[in-house]
Amino acid sequence: MRPFEYTAATDPADAVRLVAANDGTRFLAGGTNLIDLMKLEVETPRAVVDINRLARREPALEQVAELPDGGLRIGALVRNSDLAWNPVVQARYPVLSEALLAGASGQLRNMATTGGNLLQRTRCYYFRDTAMPCNKREPGTGCPSIAGHNRINAVLGTSPECIATSPGDMPVAMVALGATVHVRGPEGERAIPLADFYLVPGLHPERETVLRHGELIVAVELPALPFAARSHYRKVRDRASYAFALASAAVALDIHEGRIRDARVALGGIATTPWRSFEAERALVGHAVSHTLFRTAAERALAGAVPYAENAFKIELARRTLVRALTIVSEMTAR
Amino acid sequence: MPVTLRINGRPVTLDVEPRVTLLDALREQALLTATKKGCDHGQCGACTIHVDGRRQLACLILAVMLAEREITTLEGLAAGDELHPMQAAFIEHDGFQCGYCTPGQIMSAVALLNEPCGDSDDDVKECMSGNLCRCGAYPGIVAAVQQVRRAGAR
Amino acid sequence: MSDAVFGNRAPVGAPMSRVDGRLKVTGAARYTAEIPIEGVHHAVIVGSTAANARILDIDTSIAEGMPGVVKVLTHRNAPKLPAQVGKPPASRVLTLLQDDVVHYNGQPVAVVVADTLERATDAAHRVTATYDAREPLTDIRHAGRKEYRPESANKEADSASGDAAAALSHAEERISREYTTPIENHNPIEPHATIAVWEGDQLTVYDTTQYVVGVRNTIAKTFGLPADNVRVVSRFIGGGFGTKGSTWSHVPLAVLAARETGKPVKLVLTRRQMFGSTGARAQTEQRVTLGARRDGTLVAIRHESVSYTSRYEDYLEPAAVITRSLYACPNIETTHRLVQLDLGTPTFQRAPGEATGSFALECAMDELAERLGMDPLELRLKNYAERDPESGKPFSSKSLRECYRVAAERFGWARRKATPGAMQDGDIAIGYGMATATYPTNRSKASASVTLTSDGRGGIDAVVQTASQDIGTGTYTVMTQLAADALGLPVERVRMELGDTRLPPSPSSGGSQTAASTGSAVEAVCREACVRMAADGATDPASMAAWLSRQPGRTLTVRAESKAGKGDDDYAKHAFGAVFVEVRVDRALGEIRVPRIVGAYAAGRILNAKTALSQLIGGVVWGVGMALEEKTLVDPRTARYMNANLEEYHVPVNADIGALDLQFIAEDDPHVNPIGVKGIGEIGITGVPAAIAGAVYDATRIRVRELPITLDKLIMGGGSAD
């Protein structure tokens, strides 16, 4: 690791000010991703501002609170395991709890925060190795993954500049649930729908979100979405646990008398961002539950997929994963 | 910069650069070497320690982040000469061979006693999957964890 | 260690808990990097970022100016060392900053020494090199590859008995199939580590090694020192699996760094650095051709293996060697060819040859069985070798039939359906598979000493010493048991010391040979001590204690050497086993789970039922990893190892391992070696990948001949849609 300045902030406003003042300064929360990348020198901040103590001034940052409209506000410093084990989340948003528990390991979930996990960076081999070029890490140097090892990389949302997969599980569930990210910057707070929060690589793979430098994620809000009690996260990976998704599906269905009234579908492990599939949702809504319907929705979800040499299997795998998740949710009795 | 950590109930003052991880501070400076370095990137679990009673990975924490927090390493687990039941169970069930992942396995297993992990062997396997054992001692590890859980230890 | 745990007499064979268990569960066991050394400095290797290249320029100026940095060694300033000529495993061809040639990506091109690990690491990142790199070869499957038969390698390349070509041309049934296995990295959880401490011309090297004597010899030769000036210490080793059997480049580099800086130096490889410079299991491409009568009798076997080596040293992955001895057949032909790639030299990895070769041979046997409409187990029994097909010698013992019978019964093999795909459980297809396991019994010359001391109260304390290693295999424990038994002492009165070249020399902890080699020496030396005392009439503990108390210092030290002698060549010596697996495959998603593995193994006398079972379990877990997960990825343009970490290089996690029902079949072998043991460290992995591949086929009708069997191969291989 390169040397850097370290400041432990206790006041959120101070933290924002310190980071905003300098391009090379970064927020440090759970550390599970940033410190890893600093060791690799993929990230080389000149200074970090430790935000783990901010909840002393602002307890909501570490709390999960029910909102008057039936939604849920999750403080940005809530740890992944606490969120996964939260009884309200387990009862009303099982897809989120399952996604969290499908990610990483018990130790990492005790460290990783809600805000930090939204910003987890790709596992693309080339991004994580500074000996190799990478447009995301060093714009303009090229993407060696496109003609190299790309089994783990994306088939949706790619560009000729970058095909790196968004690696997370939690964000996929949150995207499906229609979450909103609340951020606080030098100019105050703003709310960003999570589906608009992420950027596909396009010509600028180095830009992954709409977050401006110095903006601190303070909370994620989930809408009430009563039918999300009937939801599920299915993750497929190379071993039974502790591995990133090759494909995953987050699904919530509102089924009334065998017909789908509303649906939420997102895919993970196959796209450059946590991938909300409005196409699949449109294909589902208004129709009677059937295997054929699910297969049609899955075809729609992957309609724009572009395979590379090693990852063509992901297109069919993602379809089947989605069909499986839809099937499981459709067979659940409403809770 | 100087930082005072509470390690196994005792204050330990170290002079560390901000970039020094808790893992390296423990091993290279405090000479508490039970906590192992296997991957240094949060991928193997050998450096599992407890921070305020919860299992975490020492390789992905900066030492300076932990002022005022309670750190427990494997050295702090046994009560004098008396092994923690988990340590004894690991010996009894041969839950290791080379022993290098063992401190992390045991710290993970002890933390597990206070986590909402299900009752079955499969639940334990899932909850312990963040600790790689290249010797493949997994069956013994599961047996040890289950024995201690069923005896009601904490 | 209380008597309640295992009694104060632990006869050989008893499931005694590890004598070093307490040290390991309390963290008191100190591994190499944990030895406290006053004033130790940290060395960090800079690895090349190119292969098949020459260094055009290397800039160390920034690194040299950084705080705490005391030295940056490159080929420009490193002293010239004597060329290394030696044979594996003791000596390998090393890359020690001697010239500007870069063979493989990750090859050491500089070593930075600084006062803290952070400063050394940071400075190492600031060393920049430019290369003139030519396109590398990174995969044995490339057009126009140049194969060659290695003249001198670790194994004989070819074998032929009978006339396989003629027999194949007349065979009633014939199958010929190609199987491939990828590069696999050992990935012990403890990284390679070395601490070098010079005191004048005396050198102490703390090293994580499977062979302290080998490290000493290599270092002595490399630095032109008398071997007696070099002491190598390795008390605890965090796993080896073959990668720590050789002295790789980082060890002399640490010694060099210490000499050039005048400081004690600690050098620990990063996980990434363990890919390339410390060996790997070689990628193989194997063609197995079987000819048989319609009744299943094999008339010919041809096994042709191609594997890679580096540009600078021949290492042969002896994949086809297993075929020379496994099944009775009059016409057996095996060949090995090498292809040079721009990678680091591969090396021994748990059951080198047998692990890769049994995958090909046993899969081919399954495919032949299907062709013949035979049960796979029946086909193996039909071709049971009563004598070693290669040498014609009798086996010292062979209980494979019993292994098949016991394991098949416990598994419920009789419930197997003849038609693949016949067992379903909702979304899950269930499949059964089986394979034969085998590993030869090796033995090398070993020595040991025992010092018996009267405690003055009628008791005797024994210290047994040998320069062997315990890499997790239980050496401390089983040697304690062997010595206690031979001396007639309680185990807690026996202290085992090993892992130090100052002790009587022992061979490498590899080839599953430690019990046979070092164990024979330990038993021999203890018996010799008893014989000496018995000559004076001291034959029981009380009279022995009395005898000892009359000796100078109340002590007796005996040293002995043990090696194979006349008549030892009269037998073929192998351990055998049978392994049966059940897989559950998600028909739509391709996820493969292995809920159940049943194995029975006959491996001579078992010294400790508990630690021996752990050895089998470990081997089988490796088999699961090899079958389903493990593969090292190399970028084809740069020869860079792309998944050089424990996240993207998948090894089995706890949740991957189902119920393992493994057991030993009792075997009393008076011929194999003085203590009647066969190796158990490696046989566990053999057969497992083939059994899993067979079970996957049984479940899915998809025959995956290319390891690892990842779900993409099932999805693309026509796995049924949901």
Question: Tell me: the pLDDT tens digits for A73-104?
Answer: 999 999 999 999 999 999 999 999 999 999 99
Whether A142 is in a domain gets the answer no
Specify whether A305 is located in the same domain as A253.
yes
Q: Which tokens hold the place of A297?
A: 């929705």
Contact yes or no for C523/C482 (Cβ under 8 A)? yes
Q: Is B133 touching C (CB cutoff 8 A)?
A: yes
Question: Looking at A222, A249, A270, which one is the last position of a domain?
Answer: A222
- Nearest Cα of chain A lies from the Cα of B57 at a distance, in angstroms, of 6
**Cβ atoms C18, C615 nearer than 8 A:** no
In this structure, what CATH number is given to the domain that contains residue A256? 3.30.390.50
Edge to edge, what strands does the sheet with A259-268 contain? A231-237, A245-256, A259-268, A275-276
Q: Does C710 reach chain A within 8 Å, measured CB to CB?
A: yes
Cβ–Cβ gap A324/C589 under 8 Å: yes
Distance of CA A296 to the CA centre of its chain: 25
Q: What is the CATH number of the domain that holds A80?
A: 3.30.465.10
Which residues are paired to A231 by β-bridges? A252
Q: Does C555 touch chain A (CB under 8 A)?
A: no
CATH fold label, C3-30+444-563: Aldehyde Oxidoreductase; domain 4 (3.30.365)
Q: Are residues A316 and A179 in the same domain?
A: no
Residue C22, number of CB atoms within 10 A of its CB: 18
Q: What is the pLDDT of residue C6?
A: 34
Fill in the amino acid letter for C651: V
Indicate the average pLDDT of chain C: 95
Query: C-chain residues within 8 Å CB-CB of B33?
Result: 27, 30-31, 33-34
- Look up the ipTM and state it: 0.98
Contact between chains at A240 and B55 (C-beta distance less than 8 A): no
What residues of C are in contact with residue A33 (Cβ under 8 Å)? none
How far apart are the C-alpha atoms of C309 and A2, rounded to whole Å? Answer: 37
Find chains touching chain C: ≥3 CB pairs under 8 Å.
A, B
Contacts of C621 (CB under 8 A, 6+ apart): B136, B138, C652, C657
A128 part of a folded domain: no
Beta bridge partners of residue B6, listed in sequence order: B11, B70
pLDDT tens-digit profile of C499-546? 999 999 999 999 999 999 999 999 999 999 999 999 999 999 899 999
Residues A84 and A205 in one domain: yes
CA gap B25, B63 in Å, rounded: 7
B–C interface: beta-carbon pairs under 8 A:
174
Task: Kindly give the pairing relationship between strand A64-66 and strand A72-75.
Answer: antiparallel
Contact at CB, A238 and C653, closer than 8 angstroms: no
Residue C24 C-alpha, separation from nearest chain A C-alpha, in angstroms: 22
Asked if the C-beta of B25 comes within 8 angstroms of chain A's C-beta atoms, the answer is: no
Among candidates C156, C148, C55, C147, which has minimal Cα distance to C109? C55
The pLDDT value given to residue C11: 84
What's the total number of domains in chain A?
3
Provide the 10 A C-beta neighbour count for residue C505: 18
Catalytic-residue membership of C630? no
**Is pLDDT of C405 > 70?**
yes
* CA C231 – CA C248 distance, rounded (Å): 17
Quote the CA–CA distance of C634 and C105 in Å, as a whole number.
Answer: 10
Q: In what order do the strands lie in the sheet with A25-28?
A: A5-8, A47-50, A25-28
* Containing structural domain, residue A23: 5-50
pLDDT of residue C7: 37
Q: In residues, how long is chain C? A: 722
Residue at which a domain ends, from A13, A35, A50: A50
**Would you say the CATH fold of C353-439+571-715 matches that of C3-30+444-563?**
yes
Residue A100 lies in a domain: yes
Per CB-CB distance under 8 Å, the chain A contacts of B129 are 105, 240-242
| Contact between C655 and A236 using a beta-carbon 8 Å cutoff | no
* A87 lies in the same domain as A10: no
Q: Which residue of C has its CA nearest to A326?
A: C722
The string of pLDDT tens digits covering residues C461-485 is 999 999 999 999 999 999 999 999 9
Q: Does C118 touch chain A (CB under 8 A)?
A: yes
Q: Give the C-alpha separation, A218 to A76, whole Å.
A: 5
From B27, B78, B129, residue closest to C34, measured CB to CB: B27
- Cβ-nearest to C614 among B24, B74, B137: B137
Q: CA of C310 to nearest chain A CA: how many angstroms apart?
A: 22
Name the minimum distance, in Å, from the CA of C322 to any CA of chain A: 30
Residues A289 and A204 in one domain: no
Categorize the per-residue pLDDT at C84 as very low, low, confident or very high, splitting at 50, 70 and 90.
Answer: low
Per run of 10 residues, the mean pLDDT along chain A (length 335 residues) is 97 98 97 98 98 98 98 98 98 98 98 98 98 98 98 98 98 98 97 97 98 98 97 98 98 97 98 98 98 98 97 98 98 71
B154 CA: distance to closest CA in chain C (Å): 17
Neighbours of C630 (CB within 10 A): 23
Q: Residue A141: inside a domain, yes or no? A: no
Cα-based distances in Å from C452 to A163, C457, C532: 68, 14, 12
Structural domains of chain B ordered from first start = 2-76 (3.10.20.30), 85-150 (1.10.150.120)
Residue C654 three-state SS: helix
CB of C128 less than 8 A from some CB of A: no
> Is A311:A152 a contact under the CB 8 Å cutoff?
yes
Residues of B whose CB is below 8 A from A36: 41-42, 60
SS (H, E, C) chain B: CEEEEEECCEEEEEECCCCCEHHHHHHHHCCCCCCCCCCCCCCCCCCEEEECCEEEEHHHCEHHHHCCCEEECHHHCCECCECCHHHHHHHHCCCCCCCCCHHHHHHHHHHHCCCCCCCCHHHHHHHCCCCCCCCCCHHHHHHHHHHHHHCCCC
C-alpha distances in angstroms, A216 versus A73, A77, A231, A273? 16, 11, 30, 20
Which residues of chain B are modeled with pLDDT < 50? none
The nearest CA of chain A is from the CA of C581 a distance in Å of 17
B90 reaches C (C-beta below 8 A): yes
Does residue A287 fall inside a structural domain?
yes
Inter-chain residue contact B41 with A28, CB threshold 8 Å: no
A211 and A98 in a common domain? yes
In this complex, do B91 and C620 lie within 8 Å of one another by their Cβ atoms? Answer: no
CATH number, domain of A33, equals: 3.30.43
Q: Do C617 and B139 touch (CB under 8 A)?
A: yes
Task: List all chains that touch chain B, counting a touch as 3 or more CB pairs closer than 8 Å.
Answer: A, C
For chain C, domain boundaries = 3-30+444-563, 353-439+571-715
Tallying the residues shown for chain A, one arrives at 335
Residue of B nearest to A45 (CA): B19
Among candidates B55, B67, B131 on the partner chain, residue whose Cβ is nearest the Cβ of A110: B55
- Over its C-alpha atoms, chain B yields an Rg (Å, rounded) of 15
Query: How confident is the model at residue C567, as a pLDDT?
Result: 80
Give C490: exposed, middle or buried? Use CB within 10 Å, 0-12, 13-18, 19+: middle
Q: Kindly state the average pLDDT of the residues C41-50.
A: 98
For C472, the closest chain B residue by CA position comes to B98
Specify if A144 maps to a domain.
Answer: no
Q: Does residue A259 sit in the same domain as residue A312?
A: yes
In chain A, which residue's Cα lies nearest the Cα of C625? A239
Considering the domain C353-439+571-715 in this protein, what is its CATH number? Answer: 3.30.365.10
Task: Report the distance separating Cα C346 and Cα C315, nearest Å.
Answer: 6
CA distance C697 to C679: 31
Q: Which chains touch A (3 or more CB pairs under 8 A)?
A: B, C
**Do A234 and A203 share a structural domain?**
no
Contact residues, chain C, for A314 at CB < 8 Å: 712
pLDDT at C717: 75
pLDDT of C39 strictly over 80: yes
If you average pLDDT over residues C484-500, what whole number do you get? 96
In this predicted structure, what is the pLDDT of residue C4?
32
Please identify which of the residues C184, C497, C667, C682 carries the catalytic annotation: C682
Q: What angle do CA C134, C139, C142 make, to 5 degrees?
A: 85
